[in-house]
Amino acid sequence: MKFRKINEKTINCIITQDDMKKHGINLDDLFDRKKNAVEFIKAIIAKAARSVNFNIKNEYTSMRLSVLPDHSVSLTISQDPFENEKIRKEADIESPTVSSRGTYLFRFSSLREMAPCCRVLSAESGIESSVYFDANTGTYYLILKKGPDADERYDSCMLSANEFGRMVNCSDRTLSYLTEHSECIVKRGALHTIAELFS
Protein backbone atom coordinates (compact mmCIF):
# COMPACT_ATOMS: atom_id res chain seq x y z
CA MET A 1 0.00 0.00 0.00
CA LYS A 2 1.52 3.32 -1.06
CA PHE A 3 0.47 6.82 0.02
CA ARG A 4 1.39 10.17 -1.46
CA LYS A 5 0.27 13.73 -0.88
CA ILE A 6 -0.61 15.34 -4.21
CA ASN A 7 -1.26 18.80 -2.76
CA GLU A 8 -2.66 20.42 0.39
CA LYS A 9 -6.18 19.21 -0.43
CA THR A 10 -5.56 15.84 -2.09
CA ILE A 11 -3.87 12.54 -1.24
CA ASN A 12 -3.62 9.30 -3.21
CA CYS A 13 -3.32 5.67 -2.12
CA ILE A 14 -2.50 2.66 -4.29
CA ILE A 15 -4.16 -0.51 -2.96
CA THR A 16 -2.67 -3.70 -4.40
CA GLN A 17 -4.46 -6.99 -4.99
CA ASP A 18 -2.49 -8.47 -2.09
CA ASP A 19 -3.73 -5.66 0.20
CA MET A 20 -7.31 -6.53 -0.71
CA LYS A 21 -6.81 -10.28 -0.35
CA LYS A 22 -5.36 -9.85 3.15
CA HIS A 23 -8.63 -8.21 4.20
CA GLY A 24 -10.94 -10.52 2.25
CA ILE A 25 -11.92 -7.75 -0.19
CA ASN A 26 -12.29 -7.90 -3.96
CA LEU A 27 -13.08 -5.30 -6.63
CA ASP A 28 -16.79 -6.13 -6.70
CA ASP A 29 -17.01 -5.50 -2.94
CA LEU A 30 -15.47 -2.06 -3.39
CA PHE A 31 -17.66 -0.95 -6.27
CA ASP A 32 -20.81 -2.43 -4.72
CA ARG A 33 -19.97 -0.58 -1.48
CA LYS A 34 -20.37 -3.67 0.70
CA LYS A 35 -20.05 -3.10 4.44
CA ASN A 36 -16.70 -4.84 4.84
CA ALA A 37 -15.28 -2.92 1.88
CA VAL A 38 -16.54 0.41 3.26
CA GLU A 39 -14.88 -0.33 6.62
CA PHE A 40 -11.69 -1.28 4.78
CA ILE A 41 -11.67 2.02 2.88
CA LYS A 42 -12.33 4.02 6.07
CA ALA A 43 -9.34 2.36 7.74
CA ILE A 44 -7.14 3.10 4.72
CA ILE A 45 -8.20 6.74 4.68
CA ALA A 46 -7.31 7.10 8.36
CA LYS A 47 -3.93 5.43 7.79
CA ALA A 48 -3.25 7.55 4.71
CA ALA A 49 -4.07 10.73 6.63
CA ARG A 50 -1.60 9.78 9.38
CA SER A 51 1.09 8.75 6.91
CA VAL A 52 1.19 12.02 4.98
CA ASN A 53 -0.03 14.37 7.72
CA PHE A 54 -3.36 15.12 6.01
CA ASN A 55 -6.16 16.67 8.07
CA ILE A 56 -9.46 15.08 6.98
CA LYS A 57 -12.67 17.05 7.37
CA ASN A 58 -15.44 14.57 6.73
CA GLU A 59 -18.03 17.04 5.53
CA TYR A 60 -15.70 18.24 2.79
CA THR A 61 -14.04 14.97 1.77
CA SER A 62 -14.74 13.17 -1.50
CA MET A 63 -13.23 9.90 -2.75
CA ARG A 64 -12.49 8.52 -6.18
CA LEU A 65 -11.72 4.88 -6.92
CA SER A 66 -10.28 3.67 -10.20
CA VAL A 67 -8.87 0.32 -11.30
CA LEU A 68 -5.32 0.31 -12.65
CA PRO A 69 -4.10 -2.02 -15.44
CA ASP A 70 -2.56 -4.45 -12.91
CA HIS A 71 -5.91 -4.56 -11.04
CA SER A 72 -4.60 -2.48 -8.18
CA VAL A 73 -6.92 0.28 -7.02
CA SER A 74 -6.11 3.98 -6.98
CA LEU A 75 -7.94 5.81 -4.18
CA THR A 76 -7.85 9.60 -4.36
CA ILE A 77 -9.12 11.58 -1.37
CA SER A 78 -9.86 15.25 -1.90
CA GLN A 79 -11.26 18.04 0.24
CA ASP A 80 -13.58 19.85 -2.15
CA PRO A 81 -16.90 21.08 -0.68
CA PHE A 82 -18.36 22.01 -4.08
CA GLU A 83 -17.50 19.37 -6.65
CA ASN A 84 -20.05 16.65 -5.88
CA GLU A 85 -22.81 19.09 -5.00
CA LYS A 86 -22.44 20.72 -8.41
CA ILE A 87 -22.65 17.49 -10.33
CA ARG A 88 -25.71 16.37 -8.36
CA LYS A 89 -27.49 19.64 -9.11
CA GLU A 90 -26.59 19.39 -12.78
CA ALA A 91 -27.68 15.76 -13.18
CA ASP A 92 -30.75 15.64 -10.93
CA ILE A 93 -33.19 17.62 -13.06
CA GLU A 94 -36.75 16.28 -13.15
CA SER A 95 -37.19 16.52 -16.94
CA PRO A 96 -34.22 14.76 -18.57
CA THR A 97 -32.92 16.27 -21.79
CA VAL A 98 -30.78 14.91 -24.60
CA SER A 99 -27.58 16.69 -25.51
CA SER A 100 -27.13 18.36 -28.86
CA ARG A 101 -24.89 15.43 -29.86
CA GLY A 102 -27.67 12.85 -29.43
CA THR A 103 -26.20 11.63 -26.15
CA TYR A 104 -28.13 10.08 -23.26
CA LEU A 105 -27.12 9.82 -19.61
CA PHE A 106 -28.24 7.16 -17.13
CA ARG A 107 -27.28 6.64 -13.52
CA PHE A 108 -26.92 3.46 -11.48
CA SER A 109 -26.04 2.63 -7.89
CA SER A 110 -23.46 0.01 -8.89
CA LEU A 111 -21.73 -1.57 -11.87
CA ARG A 112 -23.60 -4.78 -11.11
CA GLU A 113 -26.90 -2.91 -11.44
CA MET A 114 -25.67 -1.44 -14.73
CA ALA A 115 -24.63 -4.83 -16.17
CA PRO A 116 -28.08 -6.03 -17.43
CA CYS A 117 -28.50 -2.77 -19.35
CA CYS A 118 -25.06 -3.19 -20.88
CA ARG A 119 -25.79 -6.79 -21.87
CA VAL A 120 -28.93 -5.75 -23.73
CA LEU A 121 -27.39 -2.76 -25.50
CA SER A 122 -24.06 -4.42 -26.34
CA ALA A 123 -25.90 -6.47 -28.98
CA GLU A 124 -26.75 -3.24 -30.83
CA SER A 125 -24.37 -1.53 -33.25
CA GLY A 126 -23.46 2.13 -33.45
CA ILE A 127 -23.67 2.99 -29.74
CA GLU A 128 -20.61 4.65 -28.22
CA SER A 129 -20.44 4.25 -24.45
CA SER A 130 -18.44 5.28 -21.40
CA VAL A 131 -18.84 5.09 -17.61
CA TYR A 132 -18.03 7.72 -14.97
CA PHE A 133 -18.17 7.45 -11.20
CA ASP A 134 -19.06 9.96 -8.46
CA ALA A 135 -17.22 8.41 -5.50
CA ASN A 136 -18.83 10.68 -2.91
CA THR A 137 -22.33 9.36 -3.64
CA GLY A 138 -21.39 5.97 -5.08
CA THR A 139 -23.24 6.82 -8.30
CA TYR A 140 -22.23 5.45 -11.70
CA TYR A 141 -23.10 7.36 -14.88
CA LEU A 142 -23.47 5.54 -18.20
CA ILE A 143 -23.05 7.87 -21.18
CA LEU A 144 -24.53 6.60 -24.44
CA LYS A 145 -23.80 8.43 -27.67
CA LYS A 146 -25.13 7.87 -31.18
CA GLY A 147 -22.25 6.67 -33.32
CA PRO A 148 -21.87 6.98 -37.09
CA ASP A 149 -23.04 3.37 -37.61
CA ALA A 150 -26.21 3.71 -35.50
CA ASP A 151 -29.48 2.79 -37.20
CA GLU A 152 -33.08 3.84 -36.71
CA ARG A 153 -33.31 1.62 -33.62
CA TYR A 154 -31.04 3.95 -31.62
CA ASP A 155 -33.78 6.00 -29.93
CA SER A 156 -35.83 2.93 -29.06
CA CYS A 157 -32.70 1.37 -27.54
CA MET A 158 -32.35 4.43 -25.34
CA LEU A 159 -35.92 3.95 -24.16
CA SER A 160 -35.13 0.35 -23.25
CA ALA A 161 -32.10 1.53 -21.27
CA ASN A 162 -34.51 3.61 -19.20
CA GLU A 163 -35.97 0.34 -17.86
CA PHE A 164 -32.66 -0.44 -16.11
CA GLY A 165 -31.33 2.90 -14.91
CA ARG A 166 -32.59 6.38 -14.26
CA MET A 167 -32.31 8.76 -17.19
CA VAL A 168 -31.00 12.12 -16.00
CA ASN A 169 -30.40 15.51 -17.53
CA CYS A 170 -27.87 15.28 -20.35
CA SER A 171 -27.26 18.86 -21.43
CA ASP A 172 -23.88 19.67 -22.94
CA ARG A 173 -23.06 21.56 -19.73
CA THR A 174 -23.81 18.49 -17.58
CA LEU A 175 -21.69 16.23 -19.78
CA SER A 176 -18.80 18.65 -19.70
CA TYR A 177 -18.88 18.88 -15.91
CA LEU A 178 -19.28 15.13 -15.49
CA THR A 179 -16.32 14.23 -17.70
CA GLU A 180 -14.08 16.86 -16.11
CA HIS A 181 -14.90 16.35 -12.43
CA SER A 182 -15.70 12.66 -11.92
CA GLU A 183 -13.69 9.46 -12.31
CA CYS A 184 -13.63 7.81 -15.74
CA ILE A 185 -14.09 4.06 -15.20
CA VAL A 186 -14.35 2.99 -18.86
CA LYS A 187 -13.63 5.56 -21.55
CA ARG A 188 -14.68 3.57 -24.63
CA GLY A 189 -16.70 0.41 -25.26
CA ALA A 190 -18.24 0.44 -21.80
CA LEU A 191 -21.25 -1.65 -22.84
CA HIS A 192 -19.12 -4.66 -23.81
CA THR A 193 -16.63 -4.17 -20.95
CA ILE A 194 -19.28 -4.09 -18.20
CA ALA A 195 -21.34 -6.85 -19.81
CA GLU A 196 -18.29 -9.15 -19.91
CA LEU A 197 -17.21 -8.19 -16.39
CA PHE A 198 -20.51 -9.45 -14.94
CA SER A 199 -21.27 -12.23 -17.41
Which tops the pLDDT comparison, 78 or 132?
A: 132
Q: What is the mean predicted confidence (pLDDT) over 122-149?
A: 88
Cα–Cα distance, 158 to 129 (Å, whole number): 12
**Which pLDDT value is given to residue 151?**
79
Residue 144 backbone dihedrals phi, psi, to 5 degrees = -120, 125
Whole-number pLDDT of residue 86: 47
Spans of all domains in the chain? 2-80, 84-197
Q: Are strands 183-186 and 2-7 parallel, antiparallel or unpaired?
A: unpaired
User: What average pLDDT does range 116-132 have in this prediction?
Assistant: 91
Whose CA is closest to 80, among 100, 99, 61, 104?
61
Residue 144 predicted with pLDDT over 80? yes
Q: Determine the pLDDT at residue 45.
A: 80
β-strand partners of 2:
14
Mean pLDDT of 92-102: 53
Average model confidence (pLDDT) across the chain: 78
Residue type at 118?
Answer: C
Residue 124 is classified by DSSP as S
Q: Give tens-digit pLDDT for 13-29.
A: 888 888 888 989 887 77
CATH of region 84-197, choose from 3.40.50.20, 3.30.70.1950, 1.20.1250.20, 3.40.50.10860:
3.30.70.1950
Average pLDDT over residues 101-116: 88
Please calculate the CA angle 109-3-75 and round it to the nearest 5 degrees: 10
